[in-house]
């Protein structure tokens, strides 16, 4: 019985861990405080779009035995379009993940600081945050073990605890069924449109598509494994969506009128809901940070190795050096308190351009009979895929516009 259940456990927990990072926690917190339960429908839409894209990406990984970066690199003909496409991917995923890694580490240490407070270490004019250093070293050490199985086990455990930490707060807030149900009725206006885009954008993440396909190609290798891959995908994305909704609901029912981060929410709910809620949110933020600090450099390394044709075996030097470079850069920014604004803006611009292009390319690859071994997209999946592509196109345009301050 247990052996049969284990067949359904694949890279799903890592995917859930990847998109429930400190950034997602903060976006959901702000959405709940500003708009109450009104934007729960946007998260439901995000879950749907993510399942459609991740299922196609995982199917590509299963039937090709390769990660998405390797498949894309091998499918593009030599020429300017190939080099521009691969450069865009490297900017969006590798450089982007290095920039975002600082936020993952800082967010995790912010949650940890609610349990233990460690003063900054002063070296001349430099100030180092020891909690950031601790989280970075833990994440790097786990990745250097070189075992996908061990990483999956640790992240599965952390994701379960993180989910419980955030979901238990709903029972403390005690929202009415009517309030929750009302949140799934779409409401769009000039006041909430930016927050809607932020909620969808923090869930539909390009680097997760690369991460998922690479991990599936190493976890399963047979047509009969397709059902396991699909169940694993659906459960992990739905769980991640429920966690995001729980954060929105907690923030909405907290009674707080203004907040800028999840850490502020944790402190703010203490008078209303007691110490338990504060520590639940604090642990959830810590877990979100440490899990994303592990998956972001892992995804970036898969992309680097896939594009340059290097081994994606976690125990081999190309993966180890790529992971160390991405994580090390993020740790440096986080520990010194540097916010790489220019890098983040460049990454957001590249991601905004990449998402609709990558979605279209995945849709095209998933329809190639010779590639998918007879398991190409059905007509229904193509219709859903096209609708999701329209969503990604809108997201991409909004992301680019935001970078240039057009909105």
Buried b / exposed e over 205-217, threshold 16 CB at 10 Å, is bbbbbbbbbbbbb
Q: What's the helix, strand, coil split of the chain in %, to 5?
A: 75, 0, 20
Q: What pLDDT is recorded for position 335? A: 78
CB atoms closer than 10 angstroms to residue 374: 8
pLDDT of residue 118: 77
Domain at 145, CATH number: 1.20.1740.10
Q: What residues contact residue 249 under an 8 Å CB cut-off, 6+ apart?
A: 32, 37, 40, 169, 170, 173, 175, 180
Q: What integer pLDDT is reported at residue 215 of this predicted model? A: 92
Residue among 12, 28, 372 nearest 200 (CA): 28
Q: Quick count: other Cβ atoms within 10 Å of Cβ 165?
A: 23
Instruction: Tell me the C-alpha distance between 215 and 148, whole Å.
Output: 8
pLDDT < 50 stretches in the chain: none
Condensed to tens digits (0 to 9), the pLDDT of residues 315-336 reads: 899 999 999 999 998 888 887 7
d(CA 246, CA 252): 10
Please classify residue 120 by burial: count the beta carbons closer than 10 Å to its beta carbon, then call 0-12 exposed, 13-18 middle and 19+ buried.
Answer: middle
Rounded Cα distance, 174 and 183, in Å? 15
Give the CA distances from residue 16 to residues 38, 174, 382, 390, in Å, rounded to whole numbers and listed in that order. 23, 25, 24, 23
**Rg, the chain, Cα only:** 20
Report the pLDDT value the prediction gives residue 292, as an integer from 0 to 100: 92
Asked if 89 and 354 count as a contact pair (C-beta separation under 8 A), the reply is: yes
Domain count, the chain: 1
Nearest to 373 by CA among 365, 363, 361, 384: 365
Instruction: Give the three-state DSSP class for 103.
Output: helix
- Tell me how far apart the alpha carbons of residues 251 and 147 are, in angstroms, rounded to a whole number: 37
| SS3 per residue for 287-320 | HHHHHHHHHHHHHHHHHHHHHHCCCCCCCCHHHH
Residue 332 structural domain: 2-403
In the prediction, which pLDDT does 302 show? 94
How many CA atoms are closer than 13 Å to the CA of 92, on its beta-carbon side? 27
Confirm if 108 and 294 have CB atoms less than 8 A apart: no
Q: What is the pLDDT of residue 78?
A: 82
């Amino acid at each position: 019985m247990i052996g049969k259940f284990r067949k359904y456990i694949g890279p799903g927990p890592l995917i859930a861990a990847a998109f429930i990072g400190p950034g997602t926690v903060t976006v959901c917190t702000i959405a709940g405080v500003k708009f109450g339960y009104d934007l729960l429908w946007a998260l439901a839409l995000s879950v749907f779009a993510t399942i459609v894209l991740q299922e196609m990406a995982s199917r590509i990984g299963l039937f090709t035995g390769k990660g998405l970066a390797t498949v894309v690199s091998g499918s593009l003909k030599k020429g300017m379009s190939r080099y521009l496409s691969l450069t865009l991917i490297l900017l969006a995923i590798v450089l982007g993940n290095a920039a975002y890694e600082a936020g993952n580490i800082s967010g995790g240490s912010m949650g940890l600081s609610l349990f233990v407070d460690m003063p900054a270490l002063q070296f001349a004019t430099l100030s180092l945050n020891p909690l950031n250093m601790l989280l970075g070293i833990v994440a790097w050490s786990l990745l250097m073990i070189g075992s996908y199985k061990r990483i999956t086990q640790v992240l599965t455990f952390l994701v379960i605890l993180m989910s419980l930490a955030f979901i238990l707060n709903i029972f403390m807030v005690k929202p009415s069924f009517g309030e929750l149900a009302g949140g799934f009725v779409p409401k769009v206006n000039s006041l909430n449109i930016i927050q809607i885009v932020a909620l969808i954008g923090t869930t539909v993440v390009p680097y997760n598509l690369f991460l998922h396909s690479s991990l599936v190609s190493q976890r399963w290798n047979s047509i009969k494994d397709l059902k396991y891959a699909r169940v694993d995908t659906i459960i992990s994305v739905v769980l991640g969506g429920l966690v995001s909704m729980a954060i929105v609901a907690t923030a909405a029912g907290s009674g707080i009128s203004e907040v800028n981060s999840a850490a502020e929410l944790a402190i703010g709910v203490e008078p209303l809901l007691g110490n338990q809620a504060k520590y639940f949110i604090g642990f959830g933020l810590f877990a979100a940070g440490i899990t994303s600090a592990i998956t972001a450099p892992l995804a970036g390394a898969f992309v680097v190795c896939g594009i340059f044709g290097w081994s994606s075996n976690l125990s081999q030097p190309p993966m180890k050096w790529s992971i160390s470079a991405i994580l090390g850069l993020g740790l440096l920014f986080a520990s010194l308190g540097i916010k790489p604004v220019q890098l983040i803006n460049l990454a957001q611009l590249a991601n905004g351009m990449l998402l609709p292009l990558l979605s279209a390319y995945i849709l095209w690859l998933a329809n190639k009979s010779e590639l998918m071994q007879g398991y190409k997209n059905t007509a229904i999946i193509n219709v859903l895929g096209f609708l999701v592509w329209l969503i990604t196109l809108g997201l991409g345009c909004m992301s680019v516009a935001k970078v240039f301050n057009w909105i």
